Structure formats: structure tokens, C-alpha cells
Structure 1
Amino acid sequence: MDSILVTGNGPLSGQIPIAGAKNACLTLMPATLLSEEPLTLTNAPRLSDIKTMTALLQSLGAEVSALQDGQVIAMSSHSLTSHVADYDIVRKMRASNLVLGPLLARFGQAVVSLPGGCAIGARPMDLHVEGLEALGAEIELKDGYLHAKAPGGLKGAVHEMRFASVGATENIVMAATLAKGTTVLKNAAREPEIVDLVECLRKMGAQISGEGSSTIEIQGVDRLHGATHQVVTDRIELGTYMLAPAICGGEVELLGGRMRLVESFAAKLDAAGVSVAETDKGLKVTRKNGRVSSVDVVTEPFPGFPTDLQAQMMALMCIAEGTSVLEERIFENRFMHAPELVRMGANIEVHGGTATVTGVERLKGAPVMATDLRASVSLILAGLAAEGETVVSRVYHLDRGYEHVVRKLEGVGAKIERIKGQ
């Protein structure tokens, strides 16, 4: 099993290109199931999760081809052969559940395994089920599979979600594009990935308004056509690499970055003593004079502080001056990186959904183990700021969400290498 060796090496300088958004691309790919005509995505990230979604769509009979070194994904669902999303594929990644709405909308039936992914707490499907049932679907859980049907087709409805779930919003919006009549989805998630999905669906002929707000209105149409769409910049990869010069010092420009994607995160960095400025090419991040200051963080749905940047922010707070409190309100069990950071000399106390971090002047390199996708990169960031060598094991998590992480960090002066397993 591969590991990554990181050696603290001082300030960073240069440019890092930011890939297309993993979470956006994984949402856009199932949209091909809504139409018989081709859907082409550009600026696609080259990640193992994209390969998993490709395998899932192909298992349903869709044609999926990766072009231009994987940055273009060409898809066609003109002749699907199955409406069953099998456990062996779905267990690898929770985004696999996003085939449920499109299959149900176009074919009136779907059988989808409960999803897997990182071990960061329960990922219930109840919000997805409630929304689709509001549209007239009949859904039953049997033997770990959701058996959904809508014999007379889906019908528009007014539905308010109990929580602004991103995945449920995406599933319901895709399903509603082919429902009869108008659907009004209240307490909808507002993430940029949802705005990106709606822009793509609109290119396919969907009639949708209100994306980016808490109320989305969808006027159902009889059919959708093909389209070509560019995947939005990955705001989580962007935020992760913004932390590299914050934690090491120096100045790094993140190519393709936009402030509108990371405003709440950038505000926390500014409060900590890190400058973030928009440029013609992206965002330039510079640590101000001296040691960063501690800041408190509460994870919230967009436009609040992203849960997917909490682990990385904790790495920065480990070397901040003062004490910070990080409260996780989105997922349970999402502090599994804390004990590994403690192995590196961090001072962290975890009580339920709250972590209290008292900054130390310097972390020390140590052997550590990644427990999930974002935890893996937080340990790499910590290693960049630590004395000596840090070896991060179980980095297969990393390949799910970050392309060419070693190459990108090497390009700005980090001392990092991937060690192949036996």
C-alpha cells in the first residue's frame, strides 16, 4: 500500500493549477441518464471516484469515454440495459446514489444500493427518499437496496427538506426535470456544485430557476437533449492548497480559483493572518508577518464554512497562536484525524462534535495514518510544517479527491514524494 513522505522545507512559492470539482463532476455524470442524447463534460478531474462513477454508469449500459487525458468525459445513455445500481460499485462512493433520481424520472423504476464512501458517520438516504416520494415515487428498502418505482411517472409538488442536504437537492432536482408539472423545492442546498448542475441541466433543456437560493423551482419537460458543459473549479481543492502557504509561509497563486467559491473560508484565513487576493488568473495567498492567529470554526452548509475543509483548517490551527474551537455540525465522526495530529505534537481535545486546539510553535514529523479523504490531506499539510519527516499511510483515500497532489506541491517547493507499497 502506497504512502507519502513529507519533509518540512520552509516557505512555498509559485503556482498551483486547480482541477474541476470532484463533487460537481460526480453530480453531472448521472445527468446523462436523463437523456438519450450525448452529454460531454470538460475540465473533469482525474480521480478514482470519477472512475467509480464511470463503472457504475457503464454497468447500467451507458457509454462513457475519457478523452484528452481524462479531462473530457463523453457519455451517452441512448440504450440502457439495467436500472439496478449494484452494491459492489455503490459501496465505494456515496455519490453513487445520484443515479436514483434520474433513473426513476426517465424509466419509472430504479433499484439502488445504499451508498458507501468515507467512514465519517451515517449518510442516510431519508431526505432523498422523502423528496422523491413527494413527487409520487413509491420506495421500499429491502436487503440493503432502495426499490423505487413511479408507474405513472413523477409529478411536480411543493416539498420542503428538513435539512439542506446537497445530495438530496441534486437527486430531487434531476428527477423533477422530467416530472409532470411544477416542483418547488424549499430549504434547498445552495452549494456552487448545485448551481453548476442546474446550468448543465438548463443547457439540456430543463426549465429551472432559483439555483443558489434556498428555493428552487423546476418546470418539468417531456425530454432533455444533449449538451457540452465545463465542470466548475473544485472549491475544496482550492481551499486545501490555499492552506499550504498559510501553514508553511510564502506566497502561492491558485490558478482558476475564484473568491465567490470560498468567501467564508477566506474570511477565516484573513482573521488568522493570511492574505487572500483575487488576481487575473486566480487567487494569491500570502501569510502575513509572523505566526498565524487562532480562529474558531463552525462547519455549516454553503455559504458557511465547508465541512470538507475542517480537517485541513485544524492542521493550520495546530501551529496557531492561542486556542481555537472547531465545531463540526455536518457529519459525525469527523475528527478521526485529530489523534494522528496529536502524534505529531499537536494539542487537541475532542468532545463529541467539538475539538479544542491549542497551538504549538512547531509540529514534529511522525508516522501517521489517513482515515478518510480530507484527513489524508490534512496530515500532508501538517507534515509540510513539521520538523523532520512525516510518513502518511493509507493514502488511497487521497486518490479519490486530489489529482497529482505530489506534483502540485513539489511545483511550489514542497519536499514530498510518493512511496510505492510492496
Structure 2
Amino acid sequence: MDINLENLLKTNKIRIDGGIQLEGEVSVDGSKNAVLPMIAAACLTKEGQTTLENVPAISDVDAMIGIMDEIGVKYQRDGTTLRIEGNGIAAGYVSNLFAPKLRQSIVFLGALVTSLGEAKIALPGGDKIGGNRPIDFHIQALKALGVEVKQTDGFVHAKAKRLPLKGGHIIFPNPSIGATVTAVLAAVLADGETIIENTPIEPEILGFLNMLKRMGAKIQGDGTSTIIINGVRELKGVTAQTIPDRIEAGTLLIALGLTGGTGTIKGVIPIHHEKLLTLCRNIGMKISFYNQNCLRLEKSDRLLPFQTITGPFPDIPSDLQPLITSLATKCKGISMITDVVYNDRFNHVSELKKLGAEVHIDGRSIQVLGGKTLKANTLYGKDLRATTSLICAALNAQGTSFIHGMEHVHRGHGGLLEKLQKLGAQVSYI
């Protein structure tokens, strides 16, 4: 398997000497949440090679590559370029070696069953946030297309009543990125029309749908909450660019803002960040753009408290909620952050308190009394975004902090610490 050896050599603990104003220029990697569905889509082709560019060097991509090995899809990986051969899917079994390493492994269920008529996949993993993260919506989507699905002994078994699958009508109770990807992958090769309602409009979904259309899929309604798909017999390979990771861009922006820093972040698409940029400007961060996608932040002397909501696009992403909580510790006064996606995404709260932050949970909201000087401590990250929020907070704390849980960060960031080092942060692996 062509894995990222650098991630394997890194330890899961880092040291941060805080209290340093960051300054410099960095670039954003390709999006984790965009590239994973694109990899699954490329496996459907039986003609031509699919080339994915700007692929981040993260462990979630390593796990997807491991799954491609198991299902017999050939590929070549060269730095940030991943070439996937159009040889089709040979096997419908995904073991518990790779599937539990990431949440998005479950989307292969749609690709496998629409290609082979039968699939068996180990239950997905990923971050433990917001309570249980069931796969009910994925199962509902496949059943609407004539697939029998059951769960036994840690695996999901799917069997089609016929091939090609028969188009159907899917209505999600709530917008779900993962379930939408599963439904689309199953429907693009199905017979007839499939209507999928209450779908998300995140940029990552739109990039995924645009790639499929270029591959020959007949898709209408992308950019709206209703997607209409008319199945085709086959898809062909294309070259596709992965969009910049808007969560990494937000993470770097918050790190600069927390330390009172000055810097440039390249690879920021403004329309992907409108609500976040409005919030940051309203609290006193001096942000401008040049060359379309280069964000410039000037030093801010004082940040104001705020109230905000994180949720589905175009709102501020829920993935940034822990980061915004850390940002609020810098804002003198009472701030309130409400997460409408997850009802208990609070793994970071107890750890921020160790730094001396006044943070309280109120239902689905977090209240922060900001402006206090944070003091270094030993912290434990329990998921990807919680760990990056602790890194950002520690950068603004006085003294030396030690943070455990970098294995979570490697899932979504290929070189976050190296970028912080480039900005002048005193941070290193232990």
C-alpha cells in the first residue's frame, strides 16, 4: 500500500512554547472532506484513468488507499497526485483493517453494491463526537434503491435485488454529507431516475458532484437541496483538482488571530468562508484578500466578544466550533457559540479549562468568559478538531504545554505543525 511514511514516523505528543506572535506565509492543503468522496467515485470507472490533484498527505487518505487495495482497484500515488486506474471494482469486501480508521469508509457501500450487487464492509470509525454517529441514513438511501441491508458482527451487508439498481426517491430527515455521497454513488449507475431530497450544499459536495458529471454522470440540482440523477451505464476517468481545505484555512486564521499575529494564508476561497470572515472582522480582526485566494491578516490589538452559530454551509462549519471556542478565550467579555449539528461536541472544553479558560456548557452552546491569561498545561486531544483547538489555545498560553492526541490531527492535516513552525511557532514533536 502506498502510504504516507512521514505520518507513521511522527509521535502522538507535541511540545508548544506559547506566548509567541505568529508571523509569515503558509499555504492550505487540499480538503480532506472533499477528496475522500472523490476517491470513492473514481473507483466506479471502467474506462480511462482518473487523476486527483492536490491530494493531502493525511492518514484518512492512507486508509482509503488501503480500501482500494482490498477491493482490487489499481492506483499510483506521487506526492499530492493520486492516479486511479479505470479497471473497475473486483471485490466487494472491506475488512476491519481500514474501515474503522475513518468515517467516510462507509461511502464505499454505495459504490460496491452498485458495481457488484453485493458488499460487506466493516463498520466505519472516525472521531467520537456528538454521541453516536449511526449509519441509518446510508441504509435508508440504499433501501430506496432496492438494496437489502443488515448489520451483524461489526459489518454491514448489502445485497441488491437486481442489477443495475433501480432508481428511487430518497428524503433525508436531516442533511448528511456522508449519506448523500453513498446515495449518489449508488444512483449514478442505477436504472432510471433517483431523486434525493434534503441534501447538503457544502462546497465539498458540489466538487464531488461536478467531478461525477465530468465523468459522464447525469446529475441536476447540485447547489440546491434536491439532487436528481438519471443513471448511466458507465463512467470514464477525468482529471480533478481537490479544493483547498476550508477547515485548515480556518484553523490557521484562528491560530494567527489568537496570538495577535500577522500573516498570509494562500489557498483560501473567499465564498467558502463568508460567515467566518464576517465574524472575525466583527470582533476586530483585520482581514483582506489579494490575488483572489490569498488572505492577509494584520495584527489586532484587541478582540471583542461575540455570539455565533455553527452549522451546515453557508454557516460556519461545525468542525470549526472547537477552534472558535479557543478564539473566544482571547476576546475580553462573554462569548456564546451554539452548534446546531452536534448536541455534545465538547471534547475540548475540559482541556481548555486546564489552561485557565472560563468555559461552560449550556445545552448545545458553549459560554466563554474571555480575556484571561492562559497558563500552559498537559492536554489530551480526543478527536481531530478538539486537538487542533487545544494546539491553537496553547500557542496563546504562557509557558510550555504538552499535547497528546496527534494521531487525530494526522487524519486531517498533512503538515499543520510544519506550517505553524513556518509562522514562527515554537512547536515540535516529542
| TM tier relative to shorter chain | over 0.9
Structure 2 partner of 1:298 = 309
**How far does residue 285 in structure 1 lie from its aligned partner after superposition?**
4.0
Q: Per the alignment, in what secondary structure is the counterpart of residue 97 of structure 2?
A: helix
**Counterpart among 33, 36, 55 of residue 26 in structure 1:** 36
Measure, in 2, the Cα distance between the counterparts of 1:324 and 1:237.
23
CA contact (8 A) 1:370 1:379 kept: yes
How many residue pairs end up in the alignment?
417
Matched, 1:402 2:400: no
Q: Per the alignment, in what secondary structure is the counterpart of residue 390 of structure 1?
A: strand
Q: Per the alignment, in what secondary structure is the counterpart of residue 101 of structure 2?
A: coil
Structure 2 partner of 1:366 = 377
Structure 2 partner of 1:249 = 260
CA contact (8 A) 1:165 1:189 kept: yes
Measure, in 1, the Cα distance between the counterparts of 2:299 and 2:406.
31
CA contact (8 A) 1:251 1:284 kept: no
> What do the CA deviations read for 1:245-283 (whole angstroms, capped 9, x no partner)?
211112221111111111111121122211332220624
Structure 2 partner of 1:11 = 21
The alignment's TM-score, normalised by the length of structure 1, stands at 0.95
Matched, 1:381 2:405: no
Q: Per the alignment, in what secondary structure is the counterpart of residue 74 of structure 1?
A: strand
Structure 1 partner of 2:245 = 234
> What do the CA deviations read for 1:379-401 (whole angstroms, capped 9, x no partner)?
11111111111111121111111
Measure, in 2, the Cα distance between the counterparts of 1:24 and 1:289.
32
**How far does residue 83 in structure 1 lie from its aligned partner after superposition?**
0.3
The percent of aligned pairs where both chains have the same amino acid is: 34
Unpaired runs of 5+ residues, structure 2, are 1-10
Structure 2 partner of 1:349 = 360
After TM superposition, the structure 1 = structure 2 runs for residues 54-203 of structure 1, keeping only pairs within 5 Å, are 54-67=65-78, 69=79, 71-76=80-85, 78=87, 80-120=89-129, 121-152=131-162, 153-203=164-214
> What do the CA deviations read for 1:140-182 (whole angstroms, capped 9, x no partner)?
2222222112232212223221100011111111211111111
Measure, in 2, the Cα distance between the counterparts of 1:155 and 1:365.
58
Measure, in 1, the Cα distance between the counterparts of 2:69 and 2:359.
45
The alignment's TM-score, normalised by the length of structure 2, stands at 0.93
**How far does residue 413 in structure 1 lie from its aligned partner after superposition?**
1.7
CA, structure 1 residues 404+281, in 2 after alignment: closer, same or farther (shift >3 Å)?
farther
Q: Per the alignment, in what secondary structure is the counterpart of residue 91 of structure 1?
A: helix
- Please tell me the root mean square deviation across aligned C-alpha atoms, in Å: 1.6
**How far does residue 288 in structure 1 lie from its aligned partner after superposition?**
6.0
Measure, in 2, the Cα distance between the counterparts of 1:340 and 1:175.
41
CA contact (8 A) 1:111 1:148 kept: yes
Q: Per the alignment, in what secondary structure is the counterpart of residue 25 of structure 2?
A: strand
Measure, in 1, the Cα distance between the counterparts of 2:413 and 2:303.
26
CA contact (8 A) 1:25 1:231 kept: yes
> What do the CA deviations read for 1:273-299 (whole angstroms, capped 9, x no partner)?
113322206242425642211112322
**How far does residue 88 in structure 1 lie from its aligned partner after superposition?**
2.6
